[in-house]
Amino acid sequence: MSDKLLLVPLGGMGEIGKNMFVYQYRDEIVVIDAGLKFPEDEMFGVDYVIPNITYLLENQAKVKAIFLTHGHEDHIGALPYVLKQLPVPVYGTRLTIGLLKIKLDEHNINAVLKEVKAGEEVKIGSFQLTCFHVNHSIPDSIGLAIKTPVGTILHTGDFKLDQTPVDGKVTDYFTLTRLGNEGVLGMLSDATNAHRLGYTKSERDVGKVFEDIFGKAKGRLIVASFASNIHRIQQVFDTAVRFRRKVAVVGRSMIKNVEVATELGYLTYPDSAYVEIEELDSLAADRIVIVSTGSQGEPLSGLTRMAAGSHPRINIVPGDTVIFSSTPVPGNEKLVSKVIDSLSKAGARVIYQGIADVHVSGHASREELKLLINMTRPKFMVPCHGEYQHQAAFSDLAQLMGYDASAVLSVENGHVVEFTPDSARVVGSVTAGSVLVDGIGVGDVGNVVLRDRQQLAADGVMVVAATVDRSARKVIAGPDIISRGFVYVKESEDLLSQAELNVSVALHKALQDHTDWVALRNAIREPLANFLYEKTRRRPMILPVLLEANRN
């Protein structure tokens, strides 16, 4: 029987974020990326969502290394949590490792970190990984050619084919073409923009728009962007220097990323162009540019606090121009709209995608994907880094190019894809899914807790307190009802009085039949819930609190 190579995605399929891909040959495993995604609206209180790594922990002895394609949160953000349970070497380019070190230091994690360069080959057991440069919205992005005894898998990472990148380094077409000539068994391709016609615009196009905006602005300029979009930040500095403005940086993650990128040489500007936030008061408004976090409307970000008037150093004033140099991540549209509204109310001129081309994607559109497929000519393809609609669009595109539908695999997180030299198919599944990070808790918030939080947010809570003497089978004190988030107490006294009477009757009756706490609590909860729904069509969370009378 032929050797088999297994691909097990633990994240990044049917979603944008949480990227994590497992490649297994016999008793050896190499993992590509370990990212997070941000919580959806209904995940109240949750900070991050990371992949479930049960499969890796069950096969811990087989895991040889984790390779990183680039330094975005959705590719490296889960590592502080993963490495605590799976202490294996991590490979990445210089900037990627630099950004990762910040995160690991915050978690007091010492890890084995190994720098690689585009063009370098790394041998790990039966795997030979060749790193090749790709264009993306952050420098030092790479794809990986994974050579195994079964065949070569091309893992693109996030990419686009930018012909005029800000740093002058185009995607490594030579390596891609060479791999195609040598033979590619399978390709995992970024499918984020598989539904978009044409080509993704060059990052330099944003610089031209910046020049126009900077040239016309009379007051301060505030540019909100992802903290990891180093190319965009570089263009802000370049344009600021051109118009004799000085740049201040706001937001903890933005400050740290700028420091690391500057120290490592990926962000360059004259020393005189950078000022601390404390120096802004000494500068004229038309000489100031502020680069801030908050392009996604994050509640605690620099820009959101400015919009709310709660930032300790910067308030929005009429004459300010605010540029949202990003597009909202799906689910963040309402947050972004709210911040834009607050900024406009404060007198700022707000510019965002749709008004001007202040953002371009870092992902390849359809014509670029066609070019990639033609260069590499893989036997089989697995679209990743996309929702199901993006995976379907990629499959349609491949079929348009002459591929049979069976050559493009629709894969979900946890599926096991088996590659042989002549085939690729889904052969099973493993434990996968999401682990929720809430504060310092990892995985202690699950579906039950989320459902409770959703119920609390929707209908509030009602606490029913009473003291009973179970031996005498009677109520000694109460019941008293405390309501929060259900009704306004002063305007609902009659309803709450009826509810107390309802509970009193139910509790007296229950005491004649039961004396165990569970039965008594249920005897309160069920009739009260029915009564409240009948009267209000709401279902608050009901918490019975029963105390035993002190018989001493």
Active site residue 363: yes
Q: Containing H/E element for 418?
A: strand 415-420
CB 362 within 8 A of CB 158: yes
Specify the pLDDT at position 1: 41
Local confidence pLDDT in tens for the 552 residues of the chain: 458 999 999 999 999 889 999 999 999 999 999 999 876 656 555 667 889 999 999 999 999 999 999 999 999 999 998 999 999 999 999 999 999 999 999 889 999 999 999 999 999 999 999 999 999 999 999 999 999 999 999 999 999 999 999 899 999 999 999 999 999 999 999 999 999 999 999 999 999 999 999 999 999 999 999 888 999 999 999 999 999 999 999 988 899 999 999 999 999 999 999 999 999 989 999 999 999 988 887 777 888 889 888 888 898 999 999 999 988 776 678 888 899 999 999 999 999 988 889 999 999 999 999 999 999 999 999 999 989 999 999 999 999 999 999 999 999 999 999 999 999 999 999 998 887 765 555 644 545 555 555 556 666 787 888 887 777 777 777 788 777 777 665 667 777 788 777 777 777 777 777 667 777 778 778 888 888 778 777 778 888 877 777 655
The DSSP call for residue 267 is S
Note the pLDDT of residue 319: 92
The token duo for 481 is: 């009802």
Residues 6+ apart with CB under 8 A from 532: 462, 486, 499, 538, 539, 540, 542
Q: Residue 48 in contact with residue 25, Cβ under 8 Å?
A: no
Choosing from 70, 155, 363, 385, the catalytic residue is 363
Strands (E), 241-386: 246-250, 288-292, 321-324, 349-352, 380-384
Q: Which of 28, 2, 11, 128 is nearest to 419 (CA)?
A: 2
pLDDT of residue 309: 87
Cα 175 to the center of its chain, rounded Å: 30
Q: How far is CA 97 from CA 74, 120, 137, 247, in A?
A: 15, 16, 17, 26
Beta strands in 328-414 (DSSP E): 349-352, 380-384
Contact 430, 161 (CB under 8 A): no
Distance of CA 437 to the CA centre of its chain: 12
H or E element in which residue 390 lies: helix 388-400
Looking at residue 151, its amino acid is: G
What predicted TM-score, i.e. pTM, was given to this entire model?
0.82
| 329 three-state secondary structure | coil
Q: Which of 158, 190, 320, 459 is catalytic?
A: 190
Judged by phi (left if over 0) then psi (alpha if -120 to 50, else beta), residue 33 lies in: left
Q: What is the pLDDT of residue 500?
A: 77
d(CA 66, CA 75): 11
Question: What domains are defined for the chain?
Answer: 5-198+361-442 (3.60.15.10), 203-352 (3.40.50.10710), 460-548 (3.10.20.580)
Query: How far is the C-alpha of 186 from the C-alpha of 109, rounded, in Å?
Result: 35
Nearest C-alpha neighbor of 146 from the set 134, 133, 131, 158: 131
How many CA atoms does the CB half-sphere of 38 hold within 13 Å? Answer: 11
